[in-house]
Structure 1
């Protein structure tokens, strides 16, 4: 079309042909943009459903852990840590999405979201990645590392490594390209928005995979007798010469209908009357001074075969008390900002002849103490006392870890996570904070927070009730919008201790 002498008519035909191709390209571009927008909608809906499904799974695991702490406690601890990391990354990406669409008048006019300016300016500058871009990649890397660490040894760990990989990518020309540039530089707004939603979907999928892997693994362990473990539980950890040995040998799962066909301990068969409800009553002499072992087996009938479960245990017979016994009443650590109850005693020494000293430690009554730890990560408790009739006293030093109160969760109507309610009710909410899984029953006071309505800037609020500006912003929210309440500031009631971090709470508008 460009060579040789052309007639005016041919030139006109060629020009019309070029215009026609351009029009086709424009239409195709709009169709592609719309396709991204529809995909983003589907992913968003799927994320809402995944959140609810995961919430149910978390509750199931929580209940299992309450019922059988030894069997499900570790799985719950891992998923709790994973949920904190997942919520943080999900909220971070959600905030980026809100910033991206902040200037969009109609969030469903996907054909207009064809510019790449927002992320090009936020993540890239002068051909280099900006601090904001590096932070984005760092957030993903941090979540991947935390999730893989928690799920090490499972198939899910390998999936996560691939799912959240930020390694360089080979482009169509065969060159290695930075992951961030390959995925986000020069792309239309709606394409990047959809990719962000896909990352959120991957986060929810990772939570679901982890819950399934950990919970299912424990359930499978519980269905067969071959997976049970025998535990030796003594009434106390040490015995004096001449004392009778007292305690029980029990299975990890207690069942009133569970009885063994036969139990053998140290080569002798236990009397039938001492085999009760999945446990064996121990009653006999402890023996001479020294370390002792118990070995034997449970024998259960399963089908037509006999399943044997090994018994292994150990205890010590000691001549006299030789050190103090210090135990936290509620936990194996002490928490900064709280009055931690403790019991301090020395076997064979009256409580009024025992002295315990440490920064922040005070006696309440008898062997009951309260510890209010200060700065640092550890505290030493020095205990001294003299047993009755002894000429030499006992001095013992016990080290305890000092930890901060764990992150709290934002709450609305006593619920956390994502709370659904009508738009008309939202203006009357009161924002609170709580520690649902913490051992101490603490009341937290909220002093301020921020609220983010989709398409609008975040609004700071003092106190617990929405101010006029926040209520005005809520009136512009639409059905299915998810409003985020974050940056919640809270302190322990009756104390000056401020909670270091409070996780956000979201409200989904139902109508």
Structure 2
């Protein structure tokens, strides 16, 4: 259709074309942020796979050194190592390509922080799609390297090609989209007029596919030798009492025995939610200055790996007693702080009995009540500090107690905060739960307000998103989850919670599941 010759109409049509072009080039910040969330989650998922591969190779080494499994390990370990070499080579190539794209998009580094034009639509086209002299055509080179990696990986062993090949996560088929001019071009489909941050996310996706493909081959080789083993190679005698403070007529209980430890078991030990590092003997030693009079309890949680490689958790209670001095004592019953939005117990004791003790609480937006003799409840609704002033007629004591927010819970699905999960198990999960682990107060719960579900990998030609309100999978999220299969990566991010006592909070945590 020819343009009209009338000057005014020519100008109107020209302005329309300019406006249309500007709208086409305008990429919203929400879309850019979504791609950044996906990119971060893909990197996290790749790190999980890499750690898993490292553990399998450690098991391979033990089996290679064990005379009983040396013969099989000598056959399959080199094949697994070959898969790792091939994967590392193409992974590092893509990492270099990502740096080239950032430079094409005006990369600057200030105070150690990188910045570039994330919504640049021309840079990915120049670097990856357009051929010389207008561009560099790196997309065809990327496709060739990925195809070569897939072919060489499956050529390591005929059984690997037969058993692993059909479900290999690396899929190089062209998504069924309508390309400009009927182009049937892999690089054009993925990178033509794509924002830089989206192109980087796509490359992170292929890096994740490469590492997942490596993991499947390495696991296959390992299973041909045997499953992961954990050897308990360190021992320590232990003895403990039920109480460190006893009165005449009270029972003394001593528990003693031998403990077996393994560095490969990687135990994680917390006391009342505080992580305690291991000493040279492989045991955790917790020290604290006690202040709360009467009987006290510390909750110990030990997370470790069993001999078959599966995780396990053991929870113990360590009890002790603190004597009551004759002078005035103000004590938070369980912590040295008050937590915002919940009822915090407070004990005040003094000479002369409870009827002579006067207690006052000073602070902004704080509720205070007496629960019984010497027992009080303090509920602060604002961060900062609270002053507790107590007097028994002879002595007055003032204690300033900080008010902190309740620690962040962990978002979980099906009892897991991410990692690998079989696709059929993931599809039957009902939603996201906020799990407040190892918190000193029991019964404190966060409610899930909203979150975003992002699916990539097998079954999804490009990242697909769904916003969810409430904890349960619903609407578009349910439809996405039904399509998940082995090789899909599911990320749950932008998690917002309703705090105990009111208020909202956004978790920094993203959950990433690699489905098998």
Normalised TM-score (structure 2): 0.41
Q: Greater RCO between the two (CA within 8 Å, min separation 6)? A: 2
Q: Provide TM-score, normalisation by structure 1.
A: 0.41
Larger radius of gyration: 1
